[in-house]
Structure 1
Amino acid sequence: MIPNSMPRSFMKLVLSAAVAATLAASPVQARDATRGDDSAAIIAALLGLVTLGVLLSGNDDEPTYPSGHVARPYKPTHPQVYPHRPHRPRGISKYRELPSSCLREYRTQTGRKIMFSNHCLSKEFKYARDLPRSCESTVVVKNRKGVYVTRRGYKPDCLSKRGYRATRAY
């Protein structure tokens, strides 16, 4: 079907004017006015009016086309299964979670000290360089051979005051 560039109402007006002009311009026999037989003229006029009415009252509905695709939200047939994730308190990010496997207990001459090992954190914790230097501490301990050595680490209470915490070992 060829799409129309003119509106239907304008096309109907032009078509009806063309039909009316054709009927008005058609040759009519000259008749005697005294005869009084106007039945043919009445029938022709009625036929012209019916034709004009049919043309004007044509089907006003636009042609219907298949509706095509109707957009609907996607609903999966199977329920979505999400992996279980442990509950994380608000405000705690992975940036602030220290591995509890790095907690070490050191026996010094002054007593027992618990610290996060600097060596372990540099291996296990991605953001070890960003830890506050004010929480860093050094202790002197005896190794297995009986030689005094220094160990560097971070104090857990100092780190917890600055928002860090140890994760649970699974």
Structure 2
Amino acid sequence: MIQYSMPRSFMKLILSAAVAATLAASPVQARDATDRDDTAAIIAALLGLVTLGVLLSGNDDEPSTPYGHVSRPYEPTYPDRPHRPHRVSKYRSLPASCLREYRTQTGRKIMFSSNCLNKNFKYASGLPRTCKRNLVVKNRKGIYVTRRGYQPECLSERGYRATRHY
């Protein structure tokens, strides 16, 4: 592997300056207008420009990092852990007695009653607020009232579940 002590852009600058100085220092002879050998001079100038372009373009396929290698982020590997039986946490176990069925104008809805959870569940204040809903239902007297509660589907997506024995 070739290691460079100078950056490529600096080397390209020095090389182009050297080629330009060589072309500028070459003697130019005045020719007669009748001399028809200008085609050789034009071809030589074009060949010099093409060579200069090739030298300046360089090879961009090589890595531009120092010392010619690319560093990659460290990805640690962990050994496989033995399978543990699933434990039911009291924090994630909601009392099934707090599940209520409400009949609304749009149909039947089931949710955990907020009042029941506050009385029977120690961690009710830590339940996710995104799962809390208000339902407008008709009570036994025929009056529309608002009931507050939590959607069971939303709570189960976040790791909560209903248990019979709390």
- Give the shorter-chain TM-score range: 0.3 to 0.5
Q: TM-score, normalised by structure 1?
A: 0.46
